[in-house]
Structure 1
Amino acid sequence: MSSLEPVTRSFPAPSRHAPAARKRRGALRSACAALLVVAVVSGCGTAQGALQASTPPSAPPAAPSGATVTPPGGSGPSEPPSAPTAPGTRPPAGSDAAAAPSATAPGRTPGAPRPGSPQPAPGAPTAGTPTAGTPTTGTPPAQPAPPPAAPGVSAALVAGTAHGGRTVALTFDDGPGPATGQVLDVLAQYGARATFCQIGPQAAANPAMVKRILAAGHRLCDHSVHHPQPFAALSHDRQVEEIVPARDMIVRAGGAGTEVPWFRAPGGGFTAANQQVAAAAGMRPLTWTVDTRDWSRPGVPAIVASVQRGLRPGGVVLMHDGGGDRSQTVAALRQLLPWLTAQGYGFDFPAV
């Protein structure tokens, strides 16, 4: 072919498969477009979730009055909040207060009555609530006012003789007993006077001895009904029952005109209250300054030495004529009386 000859390009004839290929390409483009849309939507959703997670939730809007509130993720409506429960009353069944654990017992609210217990009447005070005119728990009941002392009788303890100076008051407790007569004999021998503190029932059982004591010029003292110890630990009423009836028994045993000017508490168990009881009954409370402890039978020398060592002018000596074997007391008295006289002591009664 020469260079001047026109060039003619030839194209292949259209294939019969061309329309099918075009359809496949169109379907592929549609599928790609759909995949792109899904990817875009998914990406937007993920971004929105991340944004919500990083943003604090806002408070839910307040529910209208009376409307029920459904908590997020809950299975049903909750009860509206109930009003505060009054103290001492049981909260409504099903409320939060009723379901809360109790500090006193499981399932109980503090102050609420036990299930099945009687309910208080409306307006009645609840347990633990003081009412007007009612003493609160822990407050002791008022004690009765002490009786007034008899005219001219002091409730102060007597621990000396009536005249003071170089005098001594000899006192004998727990009689009358088997040794009382011997004591009276020794006293008479030295012209000594003494005071006998007597147990009420024993005086009532020996009225002749009580009268002999009075006839010899001696004096009487109340020493209770049963000699209980510790005397100060007894109730007020019990102490009154020990003091006043004993005095009455001694007075009856002595006969008309018998006087009982003193009361001596068993074991010296004096208190301001029983001293006042004695004074109200016309008796001074009588103690001592020398305790010979002859009741324990320490021996005659020990009894004598206790007086010689402890006696001071105006002192009150404690011995016993009852309550057991008093042979040591009688023997010691036979030594003490001449010694006291030799020391210039006179014999006196306690002060009144």
Structure 2
Amino acid sequence: MQKDQLLTRRRALLTGAAALGAAGVAAALVPGTGNRAAPPAPPAPGAQAARRPLKPSEYRLRPLTGYGPPSATGSTPVRTEPLLRMSGRGRTMVLTFDDGPDPRYTTPILDTLARYEVRAMFFVCGEMAAENPDLLARMADEGHVVGNHTWSHPLLTRLGRRRIRLEMERTCDIIEKAHGERPQWFRAPYGAWNRAAFQLGAELGMEPLAWTVDTLDWTTPGTATIVDRVEDGAAPGVVVLSHDAGGDRSQSVRALRAYLPGLLDSGYHISVPRRQYA
């Protein structure tokens, strides 16, 4: 199959998958902050948490306060805060995975998502994507959304505009080559955003997405602890942050296998967001 034909097939699959999930996915996200807090002391790993019905509290169901209308650059707005949760009705959640792809962890995560016919978002680093283009091709074929997480995972607040643009553009290019389309979403490493990141992301056609629930899985707190954090934070519209690379992510793999069926049994619809802007 020629390259152009392969990219066309992947674009068609993505378009069809988005249409199938549109009914259960909100058309907008709510802005807010998503900076990573200092890691707490990791608790000792324990036995896997027992699955239980999830009952989101009234507090977690409150919509977050917006930050006013964004200014527009072309068709993508320039925001002053990242989007961090879906708005609208329905028990819909978004699962996101950062820093990959890494065959050791991304592959079993994709296997679990496929088993339950669930789509997720993967914010990939360009240097990892360049080494594993087959995994991005699989994400495209299975309807997952791939976002830009820079090329080398730097702290953007310490970089100049030229370096930030290079980090973003190189990653956009490798995603388009391997996934079949350019990314529409961007996430700053460490949740460290600045004006240049918002402006350059918008110029490249990307919306900034943070998160609502941080599993802190990068601290390797134990599988049961990760499961508890997802289940305790579950609520309509939340965006869950996990990782599929950047260290030993075997706990994250096991946790997904444990909490995903519980979320689905509790009536949550796990899907991906739609863009408000073309």
Instruction: Give me the TM-score of the superposition, normalised by structure 2.
Output: 0.69
Note the 1:1-352 alignment, pairs <5 A: 149-153=73-77, 155=79, 157-161=82-86, 164-177=89-102, 178-229=104-155, 231-255=156-180, 258-352=181-275
Offset of residue 150 of structure 1: 3.5
Paired residues of 1:160 and 1:351 also in contact (CA < 8 A): no
The count of aligned residue pairs is 203
Stretch deviating more after TM superposition (150-159 or 287-296): 150-159
The amino acid that maps onto 2:95 is L
Paired residues of 1:240 and 1:277 also in contact (CA < 8 A): yes
The amino acid that maps onto 2:96 is T
Paired residues of 2:74 and 2:203 also in contact (CA < 8 A): yes
SS in 2 for 1:325: coil
SS in 1 for 2:173: helix
Paired residues of 1:162 and 1:348 also in contact (CA < 8 A): no
Task: State the Cα deviation string for residues 160-184 of structure 1 (Å, max 9, x = none).
Answer: 2375531100000111102111000
Paired residues of 2:125 and 2:151 also in contact (CA < 8 A): yes
> What is the distance in 1 between the residues matched to 2:89 and 2:206?
20
> What is the distance in 2 between the residues matched to 1:215 and 1:347?
18
> Unmatched 5+ residue regions in structure 2?
1-70
> What is the distance in 2 between the residues matched to 1:211 and 1:162?
30
Of structures 1 and 2, the one with the larger relative CO (CA 8 A, separation 6+) is: 2
Task: State the Cα deviation string for residues 164-211 of structure 1 (Å, max 9, x = none).
Answer: 531100000111102111000001111111000000121112111110
Paired residues of 2:76 and 2:202 also in contact (CA < 8 A): no
> What is the distance in 2 between the residues matched to 1:164 and 1:175?
31
SS in 2 for 1:171: strand
> What is the distance in 2 between the residues matched to 1:223 and 1:264?
5
The amino acid that maps onto 1:199 is C
Paired residues of 1:168 and 1:345 also in contact (CA < 8 A): yes
Offset of residue 351 of structure 1: 4.7
> What is the distance in 2 between the residues matched to 1:328 and 1:148?
41
> What is the distance in 1 between the residues matched to 2:100 and 2:218?
12
Offset of residue 259 of structure 1: 3.4
What residue in structure 1 maps to residue 23 of structure 2? none
Offset of residue 345 of structure 1: 0.6
Task: State the Cα deviation string for residues 108-145 of structure 1 (Å, max 9, x = none).
Answer: xxxxxxxxxxxxxxxxxxxxxxxxxxxxxxxxxxxxxx
The amino acid that maps onto 2:250 is S
The amino acid that maps onto 1:157 is P
SS in 2 for 1:160: strand
> What is the distance in 1 between the residues matched to 2:84 and 2:232?
17
Offset of residue 215 of structure 1: 0.3
> Unmatched 5+ residue regions in structure 1?
1-146
| Higher Cα radius of gyration | 1
- Percent same amino acid among aligned pairs? 42
Paired residues of 1:173 and 1:321 also in contact (CA < 8 A): yes
SS in 2 for 1:228: coil
Offset of residue 296 of structure 1: 1.5
The amino acid that maps onto 1:195 is M
Offset of residue 234 of structure 1: 1.9
SS in 1 for 2:84: coil
SS in 2 for 1:175: coil
Paired residues of 1:171 and 1:196 also in contact (CA < 8 A): yes
What residue in structure 1 maps to residue 37 of structure 2? none
Higher strand share: 2
Paired residues of 1:225 and 1:243 also in contact (CA < 8 A): yes
